[in-house]
Amino acid sequence: MWSAAAVLVCALAGVAVWRVASHAVAPPTAAMRAAVKRIMAGPIRQKPQPAPPASPSTDRERLLAAGFAMRGVPYRFGAKGPHEYDCSGFTKAAYAGVGISLPDGSFNQARGERPLVTPGALATGDLIFYRWSGSDRVNHVTLYAGDGWVVGTGSPGQPREVAVYPLSDDLLNDGRVITFRHLKLKDE
């Protein structure tokens, strides 16, 4: 006979497995692929690297300041901080600084993602999701820093630490698909 506690643990484990499995694979749509091709066909403009907000007064500025404050923290797959981060651990920690709870895993954070039709559609603090060439699942997430820059643990070819780098470095014509998600912050 199973105890009530054992039944509860099994039920919760089943829910956790269902949550991960149900979001782990989300094949890119034709609209997502077309959007990336349109971006690649046009000029990609970026301004000089943004500075961290000196005196953040809005949640979006505080979010960006939190992201910039983690620059230099090493990357390690599966790490959730504060001494090492993976990509979703970094974005989860940055959003926690403004009172927004994100789930673990870039694929779970991607719920509600939209095709990135133009970099001009991005707002500071938006989550940017990447599916590498040939992959049906979200593989990576970064945080949009504004003016054509991202802050995150680095895509392939970037430093293996939290860093600020140009979004254009991620817009390679290698079959990757990039989407984004805008989260409304509490003071908006």
- pLDDT of 108-123, one tens digit each? 999 999 998 888 899 9
Q: Is pLDDT at 11 greater than 50 in this prediction?
A: no
128-134: average pLDDT: 87
Predicted pLDDT of residue 97: 94
- The residues pairing with 131 across neighbouring beta strands, listed in sequence order, are 177
Taking only the tens place, the pLDDT of each residue in 13-62 is: 343 333 344 444 566 777 777 777 776 666 666 788 889 999 999 999 99
Predicted pLDDT of residue 20: 40
Predicted pLDDT of residue 13: 38
CB 44 within 8 A of CB 119: yes
Q: Is 28-181 a domain of CATH 3.40.390.10?
A: no
pLDDT band at 132 (very low <50, low <70, confident <90, very high): confident
| Separation CA 116–CA 156 (nearest Å) | 20
Predicted pLDDT of residue 133: 79
Predicted pLDDT of residue 42: 67
Q: Which residue has the higher pLDDT, 47 or 184?
A: 184
The per-residue DSSP string of 70-119 comes to TTTPBB-TT-BSSS-B-HHHHHHHHHHTTT----SSHHHHTTT-EE---G
Distant-in-sequence contacts of 23-29, Cβ < 8 A, 24+ apart? 23/105, 23/107, 23/108, 23/110, 23/111, 24/107, 24/137, 25/107, 25/136, 25/137, 26/107, 26/110, 26/136, 26/137, 26/138, 27/136, 28/131, 28/136, 28/177, 28/179, 29/115
17: left (phi over 0), alpha (psi -120 to 50) or beta: alpha
Q: Which residue has the higher pLDDT, 47 or 180?
A: 180
Predicted pLDDT of residue 116: 87
pTM comes to 0.80
Q: Is pLDDT at 65 greater than 90 in this prediction?
A: yes
| Separation CA 107–CA 91 (nearest Å) | 12
Q: Which residue has the higher pLDDT, 123 or 158?
A: 123
69-83 burial code (b ≥16 CB/10 A, e <16): ebeebebeeebebee
Predicted pLDDT of residue 30: 75
